[in-house]
Amino acid sequence: MTLEGLVDEIYADPDVQRMLYLSATAAPLRICYPKEVNVSRFLAWLMDPGEGHGLGDQPLRSLLARAGQADRAQALPHNDRRFLSPSSVYTQSFSSVVVSTEVDVGLKTKKLLDVLILDPSARLYVAIENKFGAKEGADQTKEYHKGLKKLFPGYRGIHIYLDSNEAEPKDEAWLAVGYDWLAEFLKSSEQRESTAQHVREALAQFRSIIEEEDEDSASRSPLGTLISHVAGKHRDALAAMKELVKPYARSQRARELAAIVGDGVTTNQARAQMRLFQLYCRRPVLWDQCFKQTLFGPFKKTLGERFSDLAVDPRRVVTTFSLDDWERLVDKEGKDAWYYVAGVKVRYSDEQYTVVSYVEFSDVKPDRRAALLSFANEARAENGLRAGREDNGWLALKRVQGLSASRAVEEASEQLLALKRGLDRIR
């Protein structure tokens, strides 16, 4: 089909028009769309026990517990591993910490660490390097580590690399934590009865930005479903659109437009390109999500054929696959939405896939948690991971990285089948 025909099809599709309508927003934070520095300031606010969110030191405890589950945590010194264990983290108080942003750690290049948390009485610092879509600079984590050790000799240092793309930092001392942790913590905090209404609204708005999805959407929201559907239906048009624009690069729009209109918009091809460019510019974040979803089409097709009750949660950098049957284990009382009890996350980065299976305890029925934890630790032991605890909240069971598309599809299928076999035993 010609480009003109593809463009006519995508404009005429009622699903596309409905997707554009549902993604319209009036939320101030979403309109402003925070940059990395704004996200870092939000993190600092969240990590400060004395701030007005009323959550105390729970955000910091939750972050440290998740960092302790990172693959690299196994290589830390014994005392640091013990410090990051849930039984240690959740029985300590961090109420007197001092939190700073954009911290000069004494480097000659004057690079600034995003967030630094200090507890002088415990001789502890927690460094957070936040990556909201950006990549690590040359030797950045290595230099920060060196500068911090020089500034705080004798302190226990915990180095956390919080990345929306879930990349691994270059320096081995840093523990990778994905933005899924932040979204999960914000959502659980919103659901607490003790959280003030104005704080819930602030957390919900920020979570909607972190997740890059409509504020009211859950795992199978109308908008999330439409993004996945449109991405699968208009692959050729989306491929043509992506050739015209550079995703996540707003500063390039004028150059891209100039390239399209350079020789005038007099041919059918040029007019079609212009209409496609205009469509992209109406909702660039939305179309960027569609670009990502075209990478997950083979997974949906294969898993959908093998599992009749497949559930899909598409996000900007990762898509999660679960099964509807597992909702029998969810405690739904008083909740409009809930987390998947278990699933398989598939992430695409640097032309390779990572596949991770996990269990999530946030919304599990109390009388099913012991059985779920038992299954989870059996699976973790088989895959060389140490035992986890229910209060970890989220436990990875198996992680395989560096996969081609075809191998990743098979790995996702195998991991989902292993989850099904394990959860079939829990009734």
Q: pLDDT over 70 for what percent of the chain?
A: 91
Contact present, 385 and 84 (Cβ < 8 Å): no
Q: pLDDT over 90 for what percent of the chain?
A: 45
Query: Position 53: which residue type?
Result: H
CA distances from 406 to 282, 374, 383 (A): 34, 32, 22
Q: Which CATH architecture has domain 295-424?
A: 2-Layer Sandwich (3.30)
Cα distance between residue 165 and residue 185, in whole Å: 18
- Give the confidence band of 330 by pLDDT, cuts at 50, 70, 90: very high
Render pLDDT for 9-59 as a digit per residue (tens, 0 to 9): 999 999 999 999 888 776 666 556 555 557 888 899 999 999 999 999 999
State residue 220's pLDDT score: 47
Print the SS3 string covering the chain: CCHHHHHHHHHHCHHHHHHHHHCCCCCHHHHHCCCHHHHHHHHHHHHCCCCCCCCCCHHHHHHHHHHCCCHHHHHCCHHHHHHCCHHHHCCCCCCCCEEEEEEECCCCCCCEEEEEEEEHHHCEEEEEEEECCCCCCCCHHHHHHHHHHHHCCCCEEEEEEEECCCCCCCCCCEEEEEHHHHHHHHHHHHCCCCCCHHHHHHHHHHHHHHHCCCCCCCCCCHHHHHHHHHHHHCHHHHHHHHHHCCCCCHHHHHHHHHHHHCCCCCCHHHHHHHHHHHHHHHCHHHHHHHHHHHCCHHHHHHHHHHCCCEEEEECCCEEEEEEHHHHHHECCCCCCCCCCCEEEEEEEECCEEEEEEEEECCCECHHHHHHHHHHHHHHHHHCCCCCCCHHHCEEEEEEEEEECHHHHHHHHHHHHHHHHHHHHCCC
State residue 28's pLDDT score: 63
State residue 397's pLDDT score: 95
Tally of residues, the chain: 427
Structure-model confidence comparison of residues 106 and 260, the more confident one: 260
Q: What is the pTM of this model?
A: 0.59
Render pLDDT for 238-272 as a digit per residue (tens, 0 to 9): 999 999 998 877 778 888 888 888 767 788 899 99
Render pLDDT for 268-312 as a digit per residue (tens, 0 to 9): 899 999 999 999 998 887 898 888 778 888 898 899 999 999 998
pLDDT score of 189 more than 80: yes
The domain segmentation of the chain, as residue ranges, is 3-25+227-288, 31-203, 295-424
